Amino acid sequence: MNGTLAHYTKKFLAITAAGLLAMSAQAADPIRIGSFLSVTGPASFLGDPELKTLEMYVEKINEEGGVLGRQLELIHYDDAGNASKARNFASRLIRSDRVDIIVGGSTTGATMAAVPMIEQAQIPFISLAGATVITTPVKKWVFKTPQSDRMAAERILDDMKSRGLTKIGLISGTGGFGSSGREQTLAVAKEMGTIEVVADETYGGSDTDMTAQLTNIRGTDGVQTILNFGFGQGPAIVTRNYAQLGIDLPFYQSHGVASDGFLELAGDSAEGLRLPASPLLVPDSLPDSDLQKPIVEAYKSEYEARWNAKVSTFGAYAYDGLMLAVQAIEKAGTTDKEAVRDALENIQGHVGVTGTYNMSADDHNGLTADSFRILEVQNGSWKLVN
Partner 1 sequence: MFSEFLQYLFTGITIGATYALIALGFTLIYNANHVINFAQGEFLMIGGMATVSLTAMGVPMLLAIVLAVVLAGLMGIALQRLAIAPAKDANVVTLIIITIGASIFIRGLAQLVWGKKYHVMPNFSGDEPIEVFGAVLNSQSLWVLGVGAVLVAVLVYFFTRTMTGKAILATSMNKDAARLVGIRTQMVLMLAFMVSALLGSIAGIVVAPITFTSYDIGIILGLKGFVAAAIGGLGSGVGAVVGGLALGVVEAMAAGYLSSDYKDAVAFSMILLVLFFMPRGLFGAKVVERV
Binding positions for partner 1, rule: CB under 8 A: 44-45, 174, 201-204, 206-209, 211-213, 215-216, 219, 232-233, 236-237, 244-246, 261, 264-265, 267-268
Q: In the bound complex, what is the minimum distance in angstroms from residue 110's beta carbon to partner 1?
A: 18
Residue 79 CB neighbours (<10 A) = 31
Q: In the bound complex, what is the minimum distance in angstroms from residue 201's beta carbon to partner 1?
A: 5
Q: 76 vs 182, which CB is nearer to partner 1?
A: 182
Q: 45 vs 331, which CB is nearer to partner 1?
A: 45
Q: 45 vs 307, which CB is nearer to partner 1?
A: 45
Q: 9 vs 244, which CB is nearer to partner 1?
A: 244
Q: In the bound complex, what is the minimum distance in angstroms from residue 90's beta carbon to partner 1?
A: 26
Radius of gyration of the chain (CA): 24
Q: In the bound complex, what is the minimum distance in angstroms from residue 232's beta carbon to partner 1?
A: 8
State CA 56 to chain mean position distance.
17
Angle at 200 between CA 197 and CA 205, to 5 degrees: 135
Q: 124 vs 178, which CB is nearer to partner 1?
A: 178
3-state SS, one letter per residue, for the chain: CHHHHHHHHHHHHHHHHHHHHHHHHHHCCCEEEEEEECCCCCCHHHHHHHHHHHHHHHHHHHHCCCECCECEEEEEEECCCCHHHHHHHHHHHHHCCCCCEEEECCCHHHHHHHHHHHHHHCCCEEECCCCHHHCCCCCCCEEECCCCHHHHHHHHHHHHHHCCCCEEEEEEECCHHHHHHHHHHHHHHHHHCCCEEEEEEEECCCCCCCHHHHHHHHCCCCCCEEEEECCCCHHHHHHHHHHHCCCCCCEEECHHHCCHHHHHHHHHHHCCCEEEECHHHCHHHCCCCCCHHHHHHHHHHHHHHHHCCCCCHHHHHHHHHHHHHHHHHHHHCCCCHHHHHHHHHCCCCEECCCCEECCECCECCCCCHHHCEEEEEECCEEEECC
Q: In the bound complex, what is the minimum distance in angstroms from residue 212's beta carbon to partner 1?
A: 4
Q: 57 vs 314, which CB is nearer to partner 1?
A: 314
Q: 26 vs 208, which CB is nearer to partner 1?
A: 208
Q: In the bound complex, what is the minimum distance in angstroms from residue 70's beta carbon to partner 1?
A: 38
- Asked if 257 contacts 273 with a C-beta cutoff of 8 angstroms, the reply is no
167-173 and 196-203 beta bridge pairing: parallel
Q: In the bound complex, what is the minimum distance in angstroms from residue 40's beta carbon to partner 1?
A: 10
Q: 153 vs 236, which CB is nearer to partner 1?
A: 236
- Asked if 123 contacts 337 with a C-beta cutoff of 8 angstroms, the reply is yes
Q: 70 vs 240, which CB is nearer to partner 1?
A: 240
Q: In the bound complex, what is the minimum distance in angstroms from residue 214's beta carbon to partner 1?
A: 9
Q: In the bound complex, what is the minimum distance in angstroms from residue 18's beta carbon to partner 1?
A: 45
Q: In the bound complex, what is the minimum distance in angstroms from residue 221's beta carbon to partner 1?
A: 14
Q: 65 vs 204, which CB is nearer to partner 1?
A: 204
